[in-house]
Structure formats: C-alpha cells, structure tokens
Structure 1
C-alpha cells in the first residue's frame, strides 16, 4: 500500500495491479469515500487490462488529515499532483485521470493546469462549479452522470457538454450521484474501460 508525503501530511493510495497493463486509471474519490470503496470497480476493469490507482483524500481511509476539512481546491490539487507522481514513478506513460464529485472538481482543476501529463480525463457526478469553466484544451474528456443525480443535477452538465463538444457525455437512467456503487455500476465500468482503452491508443 503506497504512501507519499504532502504538505498536509502522509497520504495513502491503493493500486490494484495488473500484469503488463494496457492503461492506468488514477481515481480521485468524492467526499467521505476512500480507496477501499472501489474494489468492485477495480475488479470490473481488471479483465480489460486497466490498472486502477485510487487516492485516499486527506482525512479519509489511511491518509492523515481532518475528515471534516478535505481542503481547498488548491490543496486538493497539490495532493492529486503528488498522487499522480507516484502513479507515474515506474510507468512513464501518462495515466487517465478520473474524479468523482469533489474529486471531479479537483481533477478538472488539475487538468486545466497541466493536461499534457494526462492521457485523458473522466468526470463522474460532476459538480456545478466544473461547468462554470472550460475543459482542458486538447484533452479527451468523458463525463458519466446519473439522470437522477440530485446532488449534481444533470441539466447543468448537459448544457456544459453542449457548449463544449469535445466532452463525451454518457447518461445513465435510474441512477443517482454515486454511479460506481449503484445497480448500473457494471455498465458504467464497461463504458469507462472502453473509453480509456481508446484514449491511450
């Protein structure tokens, strides 16, 4: 179980390794979630050759920090940058970055800063604040979203993707905010895997 030091303490991440992976997916969880919550997602990706790395945000899982104070977007982005450095330590090829909810906001912020170090970007349960800005230029972007998401209503993301045709939006009926833990999770994982393998070619 890898750890790395950030300005806010020692942070933990988890890797579900794959022999000779076809791609690496680095996931930033949402508020109150940690890497251990994503074992089913990792199991769904494994047959496709995708290796999943997931960060424990500060204060969650095995990471140091205050669980009630995840940090500012700049602090979260700095932590995510350290996480990506660890993912790439032995693997120079750029990973695909994914974020859910608060993790999506962090991932989008990081990608706008430095998209050249990423093979692609996936946003899940994307918050309204992400839709107030443009996507990272030149970066392939997939948005997966539940039609019944009450925490991050899909109408905002539909308008955002209509303005920015570089974003590939996949909608899931009868699904809410936490797509990777809902009945549609296997379909979402299959769509993500197919998109990731295309993005890294």
Structure 2
C-alpha cells in the first residue's frame, strides 16, 4: 500500500467519524447543572475539580470552594491562586486538618457540620454557578455527616443550573447513584512508595 493509499483510507475513516460525531452531537441539546463526583484511590481528584473551578473563573462565572479536611493553617497553591479572584471565588477552608492529627471526633463532626451549612448556603445562592465540596467524601466516609441528608439536599434543593463537584476517596454508593458524572481515579504508580514526599505544585 502506497502512502497515498494510506492517506486516502485515513481521510475516508475520518470523514465517516466526523459524520457519526455530528449526528450524535445533534441530539445533545440540554444544558443544566451537573452533580460531579471525583473519587478513587488515585491522585488527581481535587486537581480535577479545581480545573473546573479555574475554567469558570476564566469565563467570569462565580464559584465557591469548600474544603472539608484541609486546615486554614496549611499553605496550598490553590488557596494562593484562588484568593487572587475574590470577586469570582469564595474559598472556605473549613477543616481542621487530617483526622489523625485532630484526634478529636466531636471536633471533626462539628467542623464538618459548619462546613456543610456554609456549602448549602453557597449552593442555594443563585450568584454561584459552581460549588466544589473538596474532600466531602472523606467526611461522609467517617460518618461525620449523614449521607442521607446530603443526598436529600442535593436531590431536592440544588438549583437546576448549579454545578456541584464533590471530591474524595470512597464515595458513598448513594452519592454515586445520584451523580450525573462520576470519575474514579485509579492509582497505577505513586512516588510516595519510592520515598518521595509531597511537593509544592504537585500535591499542594
């Protein structure tokens, strides 16, 4: 087969692919708020959610980021950057740090409850187009908040055009069932196993 034959076959294949794609896209006409869940043991859940936050900021759409387990004392790249856009992003670092650091279940529950109340207020506020609930899955995993309450609120009170992004390992089945989009990050390799510590710009 000559190079011209290969090119001709490729062009025909791409033509058919384009036709099929255009036919498929013609039926996609709905636009509404999505419930998005990033979960799994692999790295990148918060980073994926923040990517959507940054896209909204780029389009001038207001966002809120509620971080459930990160501490206000921590320095993170996302906090440094998001604070540069106070008119477009409300950043609420509502956690007390890792649960193995706090070692205080009652405190963790109270902190999670306060964060959830602020999250609900943002979700109900029509000024926000996207609300990210970072590490909410961790809070639910430890039963600091009842998953039934979260699911009921998101099902019945979330405005139709508001996007909500939830991150964290071990997403509850009830949340996965309710979500419009679920992505599971699968860990294949991680430098931590080789003795590499968390690094600025990668992990935080």
TM exceeding 0.5? no
Q: Greater relative contact order (Cα 8 A, min sep 6): structure 1 or 2?
A: 2
Q: What TM-score, normalized by structure 1, do the two folds share?
A: 0.42
State which structure, 1 or 2, has the greater radius of gyration over its C-alpha atoms. 2
More helix by share: 2
More strand by share: 1
